[in-house]
Amino acid sequence: MVGRQGQGGGAGNKAGARRAGLDFPRPLTSVDIVIFTIRLEALHVLLVRRGHAEGEPFPDAQALPGGFVDVARDRDLEACARRKLAEKTGVVSPYLEQLGSWGSATRDPRGWSATHAYFALIPASAAETALAADAQWFPLYGAGVKPRLAFDHQEILQAAVQRLRNKVEYTSLPAYLMPEEFTLPELQRTYEIVLDRPLEKSAFRTRMLSADLIEPIDKMRKGPNRPAQLYRLKAAAAPVYFARTFNAPE
Amino acid sequence: MVGRQGQGGGAGNKAGARRAGLDFPRPLTSVDIVIFTIRLEALHVLLVRRGHAEGEPFPDAQALPGGFVDVARDRDLEACARRKLAEKTGVVSPYLEQLGSWGSATRDPRGWSATHAYFALIPASAAETALAADAQWFPLYGAGVKPRLAFDHQEILQAAVQRLRNKVEYTSLPAYLMPEEFTLPELQRTYEIVLDRPLEKSAFRTRMLSADLIEPIDKMRKGPNRPAQLYRLKAAAAPVYFARTFNAPE
DNA sequence: ACACTTAGTTGTACTGTCCAACTTACTTAG
DNA sequence: CTAAGTAAGTTGGACAGTACAACTAAGTGT
């Protein structure tokens, strides 16, 4: 066992003059956020265009919003993520969940780096209001443009989509993509857009209503056809886990 | 927007002489592993006793195995985790999954630090063979000793247990805690130990067998009572997602 | 031979999905 | 003004899988 460093074990460092040997190279540490919303009947991600200053890797490429942790300003990782999210979208309290971390010697040409990835869901209404100048929404599946992403951001994005779709199968996550008031068919369409697959109407209704996470409000939406009951997310709406899945035929 | 750093946007740094300004303080970066096994009919975690060299925080406390990333030896985070796992247990290829990351200005008295936490499952048979001298198994729930843990490791451990128990509800994870050959009742007991709750026998059987992840082998275990069919994990046994849960009465 | 224990099966009740057909209410075309 | 069209929401039957209890089968110890 060679070159033992600090935290791990008991061995300790030789001298001890320099505060228990913290003088070894540290990886770069960043936070990246995968921000989803639904626009134009499709799932979209927010990407930012990278700069092309000298020494900047992946100049002019698209990337997930993010950046290095600022040890002076960020109290913790989540605060860092919220700061970057607010800077790019103006949204302050969306659904925010940690996705995972990616770190290796090669993912950033500037050196060993590790990024902490988060993913956020914001409602369509908030998606356009205070967007940063260098940020832009891109559709996920479908005929949309597929920009090449910087670093390993393609892999991170992939993981985020998979996590989102997995969780949608048995939780109430898509409710965070809805405006404050919505109808059940609208909610169902959101689920269908995220899953990219039609769902069963009656099963969806019974399950949604028995899940006790949305409540009907005393209003109706006067659609072009029949009027529809409006619902709202219940106060303490932690994601709820469902039992089965609901598939539609064909 | 002040003090923009590298990766994020386009602004770039003033001078550019020092390779696009990477000369800002970086957080300490470590990897910690929550290693579970089942011993003596109870879920156990591996903890290591910290040293008491000068400048070492939490001297003599118990902690999760882990330590700083070594940018010279570790190609990526997972390799770092596997290295530390092998150092402490001798096990080389267990079930290993990323759990999440914890980072803040205060979690380590030595400065802003971020840890990447993993969790591993190893079979009982491998739990004792090549244990490091400073490592020890601790039972999780039950009357066992509850050692105070260093850093925020209590929180990380908590998260690992919750993740494990959540996943057990609808996946085949506990199979990784089993020896190569096992009987269905043994597998069920493992599930029950992890969940700390009795399960329904017949529902467990039908679901396990229809899940297509274990296969009967041509042997029987000659228990003290009836002989029981032996099973083995199927080759490419990625965790399988089940539909519902199975509860036993009372 | 007997009680005791555990592996594994069987059968009934119940819950919730899958699926199609239906009713209700509003819009638009003629 | 009426008829056709469309979307919201309900109803009912087929089916699958869990919850639960009672059962059979095969070994052990006294």
Q: Could you tell me the pLDDT band of residue B126, with boundaries at 50, 70 and 90?
A: confident
Helix, strand, or coil here: B206? helix
Which nucleotides of strand C come closer than 7 angstroms to any CB of the protein? 4-11, 16-21, 24-28
| Inter-residue long-range contacts of A148-151, CB under 8 Å, 24+ positions, other chains counted | A148/A61, A148/A62, A149/A47, A149/A61, A149/A62, A149/A63, A149/A64, A150/A50, A150/A57, A150/A58, A150/A61, A150/A62, A150/A63, A151/A57, A151/A58, A151/A63, A151/A107, A151/A108, A151/A115
Residue A4 belongs to a domain: no
pLDDT of residue A144: 54
What is the rounded average pLDDT for all residues in chain B? 83
Residue A34 has pLDDT above 60, yes or no: yes
**What band does B117 get if pLDDT is binned at 50, 70 and 90?**
very high
pLDDT for B22? 81
Candidates A54, A67, A103; nearest CB to B77: A103
Averaged pLDDT, B221-227: 84
Say if residue A196 is in the same domain as residue A142: no
Q: Residue B46's domain spans which residues?
A: 28-168
Does position A8 have pLDDT exceeding 60, yes or no? no
Q: Report the percentage of chain A scoring pLDDT > 90.
A: 50
A208 touches strand D (CB under 7 A): no
Tell how strand A113-121 and strand A95-104 pair up.
antiparallel
Single out the residue of A9, A38, A37, A30 nearest to residue A21, CA to CA: A9
A190 and A144 assigned to the same domain: no
- Same domain as B34, residue B121: yes
Q: Which of B131, B151, B168 is the last residue of a domain?
A: B168
Q: Are residues B199 and B155 in the same domain?
A: no
User: pLDDT tens digit string along B170-219?
Assistant: 777 888 899 989 999 999 999 889 988 888 888 888 888 877 778 899 99
Q: Does A70 reside within a domain?
A: yes
B153 & B186 share domain: no
Residue A49 lies in a domain: yes
- Of A124, A154, A184, the position where a domain reaches its end is A154
In terms of average pLDDT, the best of A187-201, B197-211, B235-249 is: A187-201
B162, two tokens: 């919750």
Assess whether B157 and B187 both reside in one domain: no
Q: Is residue A113 part of a domain?
A: yes
Report if residue B109 sits inside a domain. yes
A13 is a domain residue: no
* H/E run at residue B98: strand B95-104
Task: Let me know whether B44 and B87 are in one domain.
Answer: yes
Nucleotides of D under 7 A from a protein CB: 5-12, 17-22, 25-29
What's the pLDDT score for residue A242? Answer: 54
Number of domains in chain B: 2
Task: Say which CATH number the domain at A220 has.
Answer: 1.10.10.10
How much is the pLDDT for A19? 46
> Could you tell me if residue B244 is inside a domain?
no
Percent of chain B clearing pLDDT 90 (strictly above): 48
DSSP, res B143: S
- A44/A98 Cα distance (integer angstroms): 19
| pLDDT tens sequence across A73-107 | 999 999 999 999 999 999 887 899 999 999 999 99
Compute the average pLDDT of residues A51-63.
89
pLDDT at B8 over 70: no
Least confident of A183-187, A235-239, B44-48, B180-184: A235-239
Q: Please give the residue that has the higher pLDDT: either A124 or B248.
A: A124
Spatial neighbors of A84 by CB under 8 A, at least 6 apart, are A31, A33, A65, A66, A67, B8
Partners of residue A114 in chain B, C-beta under 8 Å:
29, 69, 77, 114, 116
B200 and B123: one domain? no
Examine the domain organization and report whether A133 and A80 are in the same domain: yes
CB atoms closer than 10 angstroms to residue B248 = 12
pLDDT grade, residue A64 (50/70/90)? very high
Q: How far apart are CA A218 and CA A236, in angstroms?
A: 20
Q: How close B42 gets to chain A, by Cα (Å)?
A: 26
Alpha carbons A32 and A66: distance in angstroms, whole number:
4
- Give A228 CA → C30 C1' in Å: 28
Within this chain, do residues A40 and A142 fall inside the same structural domain, yes or no? yes
- Comparing CA positions, the residue from B145, B219, B141, B232 lying closest to residue B186 is B232
Written as one string, the DSSP assignment of A162-197 is HHHHHHHHHS-GGGGGS-SEEEHHHHHHHHHHHHTS
Q: What is the ipTM of this complex?
A: 0.85
Cα–Cα distance between B185 and B11 in angstroms, integer? Answer: 63
| Contact check, Cβ <8 Å, B67/A4 | yes
Does residue B144 lie in a domain region? Answer: yes
- Lowest mean pLDDT, pick from A86-90, A226-230, B3-7, B145-149: B3-7
Q: What is the C-alpha to C-alpha distance for residues A108 and A211, in angstroms, rounded to an integer? A: 44
CATH of the domain at A42: 3.90.79.10
Instruction: Note whether B163 and B202 are same-domain residues.
Output: no
B50 touches chain A (CB under 8 A): yes
Q: What is the pLDDT of residue A15?
A: 33
Do residue B52 and residue B121 come from a single domain? Answer: yes
Q: Which residue is nearest to nucleotide D11 (CA to C1')?
A: A202
Give me the DSSP letters along B149-188: BSTTHHHHHHHHHHHHHHHHHHS-GGGGGS-SEEEHHHHH
